[in-house]
Amino acid sequence: MSGRTVQTDAPWGLARISHRQRGSTEYVFQPTTGTYIYVLDTGVKITHQLFQGRASHGFNAVGGSNDDLNGHGTHIAGIASSQTYGVARFANIISVKVLGDEGSTTTSVLISGINWAVQDMQNKSRVGKATTLLAVGGSFSAALNSAVAAASNSGLFFAVVAGNSNTNAAQFSPSSEPTACTVGGTTINDAKMSTSNYGPLVDIFAPGQQIPSLGIASNTAVAVFSGTSMAAAHIAGLGAYFLALEGPRSAAALCARIREVATQNVLSGIPPGTDNLLAYNLSGL
């Protein structure tokens, strides 16, 4: 890999996805630009200094303030793309607020956010340049799965959470939607997080435990959270990174590419019938 950048003392998750073996403290990547990540969540603190002005408010489906008064949306957005804590350092973040300040929502609100992101992608000629982070999970919903499938088929890649119930992801939505890239969570010791869902519909695993990223207490705040939301955020960022690095791909082809280059069979605690694949960014290390 030519022109690569090395971040020392990097967050463990970033170091992990840029090395085949665990234990490194360096994040190795190429600076890439020109991609977009739609973050469908509680909003994003767009004024945080580590977004460097690349985050913006796109759509608010829940009413009230555009700001993130919860913290979840800002944290996962920072993992996907921010200085110091982000996978895709120079991607643009578009906040689509589909969760209220307490973190709750409805299927219809989620679908409205998904549909807005698709329209925005199409209107601004971002097909093949955009990924979506949907770190929301609930009971099985054919309507939600259909909305994600339609969006994926239009060219918008979806990184979604496997969920945090230590059970089969097929029971939930949108993790049960095959066209989404469903993400399970891992620990610093290369184990499946005890809470992470699993099963044949989980496409990829990524770091999810004790992940540092951006907080909302100030424009320089840092917070540490755990969950498959954090894992999915790594994949939304990695998807954008690969689109910039290797060129446009369909949503299905991008998830297939992430799976193709993943580090195989290094994770412990992966149940039978679940692919043992850990995200990797092709750093060459």
Q: Domains in the chain, ordered, with CATH?
A: 31-278 (3.40.50.200)
**Neighbouring C-beta atoms of residue 178, cutoff 10 Å:** 15
Contact status, residue 61 vs residue 109, Cβ threshold 8 Å: yes
How confident is the model over 68-120, as pLDDT tens digits?
A: 999 999 999 999 999 999 999 999 999 999 999 999 999 999 999 999 999 99
* Secondary element (H or E) of residue 107: helix 107-123
- 41 catalytic? Reply is yes
Res 274 pLDDT > 70: yes
Question: What is the per-residue pLDDT for 3?
Answer: 81
pTM recorded for the entire structure? 0.98
Using 50, 70 and 90 to split pLDDT, how confident is the model at 2?
low
Distance CA 34, CA 149 (A): 25
- Rounded to an integer, the average pLDDT of 204-215 is 99
- 72 catalytic? Reply is yes
φ, ψ of residue 114 in degrees (nearest 5): -60, -45
Q: Which of 41, 68, 190, 275 is catalytic?
A: 41
Question: What is the per-residue pLDDT for 1?
Answer: 47
Q: Is 112 helix (H, G, I), strand (E, B) or coil?
A: helix
Question: What is the per-residue pLDDT for 26?
Answer: 98
- 234 catalytic? Reply is no
Q: Which of 18, 95, 152, 229 is catalytic?
A: 229
Q: Which of 72, 120, 141, 203 is catalytic?
A: 72
Using 50, 70 and 90 to split pLDDT, how confident is the model at 223?
very high
